[in-house]
Amino acid sequence: MTYKNEQNTNILYKGNKIDPNRVSDPEVMPLYLSTAHNVADLDDLQNTYDRKGYAYTRSHNANRDGIAELMTYLEQSENSVITNTGMSAISTTLLALLTSGDHVVADKTLYGESIDFLKTLSKYGILVDFVDITNLDEVASVINANTRILYTETVSNPMMTVANIKAIADLAHSHQSYLIVDNTFMTPVLFHALTDGADVVINSLTKFANGHGDVTLGSISAKAEIIEKIYNLQVLLGTTGDPFDSWLATRGIRTLDLRVKKQSSNALSLATFLENHQLISKVYYAGLKSHPQHDLAEAQFSNQYGGMLSFELKGDRQTINKFLQELNFTKYAMTLGGIRTTISHPVSSSHYDTPEEEKAKIGITDQLLRVSVGIEDEAD
C-alpha cells in the first residue's frame, strides 16, 4: 500500500506505521481493534513474546491490558485478567484452579447461572456442596480433605445475604483452600475482598463497573501466580475480553466511584420507603436494621450498602404484571448496575431454571422482585 506524501495532506499513516508527528499523547486511550500486530522478522517476534508485547489480540490487547491495570489497582491486587463476560470470569477461574476429585463449597443463594455452572462440574469429577454461607458451622461441616475452593458473592443475588469474608477466608485457609468472591454487587468502590482475605475476586464488568448497559465483560483479580494459571487457560478457551468492550468499560470505570455512591444512597432511601409501604411484605437490603446481617454489613462495608435490593410484593402474578405496567421511570431489564433504575423478577429470569424445592430453600418466591437502583434524583 502506498500513499502520496504531499504537503498539507490529511494522511495519518505512512506505509503501515502511525506517523509520530501526527499522533501523540491522546487524552482518551485509543481503540486498538487490530486482530494482529506486524513484526519485522523472527527476532522481532521472539522479542515480542519475551516482553509480552502485542502480536495476536486473543493473547494480548492494549485496551484489555488497560482495563486489567485499572481493575488491579481498584481491587488492590497483584494482577488481573479481563474476560468476555462475567460468567466466563467465573467458569475460567474455576476450571483453571480445579481438577478431577476436587471439592467446592458454595453459597446456596448465588446467582442462578453461577449455581448452574457449578453443578456442571460434576461431569468432570468435581463435587460441589451448596450451603448457607452465613452459617459458618454449616460451612465448616462440609469441608473435607479434597476441598479446594470456597465460593461466595459479597452480597448474594437476589436475596441480598451478606457473607463474612474475613471469617470465611480464615476457614478456607485453615483447610488449605482458596476463597473466591464475586464482588459484582459491591464493586471495589465499597469493598475490597482481597484485603479481607479472599484469594480471588471476580467482577461482572457488564454491571456497575461499566454502568451504561452497552458492554459484556468480566474481570478476575488475584496474586500474580494465580492469575498466570487462569490466563494460560483463558487464552486456550478464548474467553478474552473484546477490545471495544474493554475501551467502553474503561470509560465507564472513570465515573464508578461517583455512580456507586449515589446508587447506594438512592437504594437506602428506596428500601426505607418500601419497608414502610402497605403493599410490600418484606424488603431485602443490608442497609436496613431489619436485615439479618445488618451489623456485619455495617462493619464490613462502612455504612454504604450498594445499589441492589429486593422486595416481596403482596399479590399474585396479575398483581405483579399490573405493578410493572404502571411503573414510570423504572423498566424491566435482565441486567443491573446501570445508571437507570431497572427491575426484574428472579423466578422469571436469574432463577428461571432453578427447581421449585431449591427456590423454596433459598427463599425466592413468585412475589420477589429485584431492583437495581440508578443515579436518578432521589424523589424520582
Q: Which of 18, 55, 336, 25 is nearest to 184 (CA)?
A: 336
Q: Is 129 a catalytic residue?
A: no
**Residue 42 CB neighbour total at 10 angstroms:** 8
Angle formed by the axes of helices 62-74 and 243-253, nearest 10°: 30
Q: Is 58 a catalytic residue?
A: yes
One of 108, 207, 259, 262 is an active-site residue; which one?
207
One of 14, 58, 251, 359 is an active-site residue; which one?
58
Q: Which of 97, 80, 96 is nearest to 249 (CA)?
A: 80
DSSP string, 185-207: TTHHHH--TTTTT-SEEEEETTT
How far from each other are the two terminal CA atoms of the chain, in whole angstroms? 57
Rounded distance between C-alpha atoms, residue 57 and residue 244, angstroms: 12
Asked if 204 contacts 86 with a C-beta cutoff of 8 angstroms, the reply is: yes
Check the CA dihedral 363-113-87-206 and report its sign. Answer: negative
Rounded distance between C-alpha atoms, residue 179 and residue 191, angstroms: 15
Rounded distance between C-alpha atoms, residue 237 and residue 225, angstroms: 19
One of 182, 196, 242, 245 is an active-site residue; which one?
182
- Cis previous bond, 158, omega within 30: yes
For the sheet with 280-284, list strands across it: 280-284, 308-313, 368-372, 342-344, 331-332
Q: Is 340 a catalytic residue?
A: no
One of 64, 107, 111, 305 is an active-site residue; which one?
111
Angle formed by the axes of helices 224-237 and 86-97, nearest 10°: 110
SS3 236: helix
Q: Give me the active site residues, please.
A: 58, 111, 182, 207
